[in-house]
Structures are given as C-alpha cells and as structure tokens.
C-alpha cells in the first residue's frame, strides 16, 4: 500500500491489516556519467513497491535527499546536514507512529557511512521516545551486496558499478546513458581531503562495464526476498 496513493478511508482500512511501514530513503547524488542522480532513491522505492505486491505493508513517500560526504563536490550531488537528516527521520517516524504504525523499516538506497550512522542514531532516539515502537535501519545496498554472491563478477564493487548499473538497467533502462567506466578511488588513509574529486574524478567505484539487465533482475528479486524475511523478523521481534 503506497501511502501517497491512498485515500483517508483506504489508509484506515490498511491499519486493520498491518501496522508495518517501510520508509525509503535515497539521495540526489552523482552516479558516474551513465546513471541518474536519483539512482539510490530508485533502488529503495523499487524494492519497497515490489515487496508491497507480495505482502500487506505500507510504503511511505520516499525521501530523495541524504548525507553525501564523498561525492559532495561532484556535479549534481545535493547533500543534507546530518542534523537535518536526523530530525527529518525522527519527525517522519513520530508522525507515522501517531497514525498507528508500530513496525518501521528505514530502508536506505544510499549507503554512505555518515548517512547510515545518522539514521541509526535517529532510530535509537526513536526507541527511547516510543516504548511500543519496533524499528529497523538498513541499506538496500547491504542486502544487494549479500545477495550478489555468485552473480556479480566485480570485487569490491560499490558506487555506480556493476551492481547498481545492473539494477537500473533492469528497472529503469531508459535512464542509463552509456556504459560507464571502471574506476576505483584512492583516498589517503586517515587524511581528510578538501578536494575529493581529485581522488575520485569519475564518481564510479567498481566496474559498470560488466553490468547486465538480467543480473539486475535477479538481484532485485533476491533483495525483495531478503527484505521480506527481515520484515517478518521485525514483526515477530520481542525483547
């Protein structure tokens, strides 16, 4: 059930079937020269909607912005401050809780470390605020990487590489512009740099040349199945 498409009576009837909601978090961020800036958001929304076709679950409107530290200087990246993302997550989940939802999955298509740490911090604050709330925070890419074993050929594939390019080739082929080039950034260990594009000029981390739509189809299905198992675990969770 996509919340943004429901009427008020439909939402009320939905609460009689489930108290579980999935909130897709994404980003507006460079993904090389071949993938759209909305790539992370598209990943999270696509698997959320596919899951909603197989089980009763609410899907909240997606948040298409995130904390993008390493790509902040690349053209097309629009980053939030961590305080903004934390407050946004807390306000959204608190509003969902006020409407009767009790099991919340914050599913991020953006896998940046600072971004995820911020969502986890918000989740911990929400657990303290709402005693009857159950919450999970994870990246959609985490599930994709786990499920990619035996399917993806590129070692240490990450941003705009074989996995993400395959996913978009399958779900939104018209948005893939060209092939993309293999690239691995070389940031200095432990040293914070101002000019991040100097160490990561192309904005790719992996090998998009090995991507195929069929790999993307298989990956998406595996991610949906893994997400389905997670939702069941959360709904049954007891402490």
- On the 0-12 / 13-18 / 19+ scale of CB atoms within 10 A, 145 is middle
Q: Using a pLDDT cut of 90, give the percent of the chain over it.
A: 90
Residue 189: exposure state from Cβ atoms within 10 A (0-12, 13-18, ≥19): exposed
pTM over 0.85: yes
**What would be the CATH architecture of the domain defined by 3-229?**
3-Layer(aba) Sandwich (3.40)
184: burial class by Cβ within 10 Å (0-12, 13-18, 19+)? middle
* Alpha-carbon distances of 192 from 66, 83, 120, 200, rounded to whole Å: 20, 21, 23, 14
Q: What phi and psi values does residue 130 have, to the nearest 5 degrees?
A: -120, 105
Model confidence pLDDT, tens digit, residues 152-201: 899 889 899 999 999 999 999 999 999 899 999 988 999 999 999 999 99
Q: What is the pLDDT of residues 32-67, one digit of tens each?
A: 999 999 999 999 999 999 999 999 999 999 999 999
Across the range 228-236, mean pLDDT stands at 95
For the chain, which residues make up each domain, given as ranges? Answer: 3-229
Alpha helices in 99-191 (DSSP H): 113-129, 140-147, 162-171
Three-state SS at 106:
strand
Handedness of CA 74, 78, 83, 88 (dihedral sign): negative
Q: Give SS3 for 138.
A: strand
């Amino acid at each position: 059930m996509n919340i943004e498409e429901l009427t008020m009576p439909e939402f009320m009837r939905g609460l009689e079937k489930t108290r579980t909601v999935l909130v897709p978090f994404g980003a507006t961020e460079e993904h090389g020269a071949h993938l759209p800036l909305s790539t992370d958001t598209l990943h999270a929304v696509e698997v959320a909607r596919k899951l909603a076709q197989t089980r009763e679950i609410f899907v909240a409107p997606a948040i298409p912005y995130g904390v993008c530290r390493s790509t902040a200087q690349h053209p097309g990246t629009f980053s939030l401050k961590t305080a903004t993302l934390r407050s946004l997550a807390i306000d959204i989940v608190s509003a969902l809780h006020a409407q009767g939802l009790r099991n919340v999955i914050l599913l991020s298509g953006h896998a940046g470390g600072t971004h995820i740490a911020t969502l986890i911090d918000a989740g911990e604050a929400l657990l303290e605020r709402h005693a009857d709330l159950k919450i999970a925070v994870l990246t959609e890419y985490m599930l994709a990487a786990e499920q990619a074993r035996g399917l993806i050929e590129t070692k240490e594939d990450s941003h705009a590489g074989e996995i993400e390019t395959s996913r978009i080739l399958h779900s939104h082929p018209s948005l893939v512009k060209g092939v993309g080039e293999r690239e691995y950034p070389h940031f200095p260990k432990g040293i914070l740099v101002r000019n991040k594009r100097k160490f990561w000029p192309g904005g790719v981390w992996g090998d998009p040349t090995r991507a195929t739509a069929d790999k993307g189809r298989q990956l998406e299905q595996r991610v949906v199945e893994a997400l389905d198992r997670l939702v069941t675990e959360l709904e049954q969770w007891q402490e």
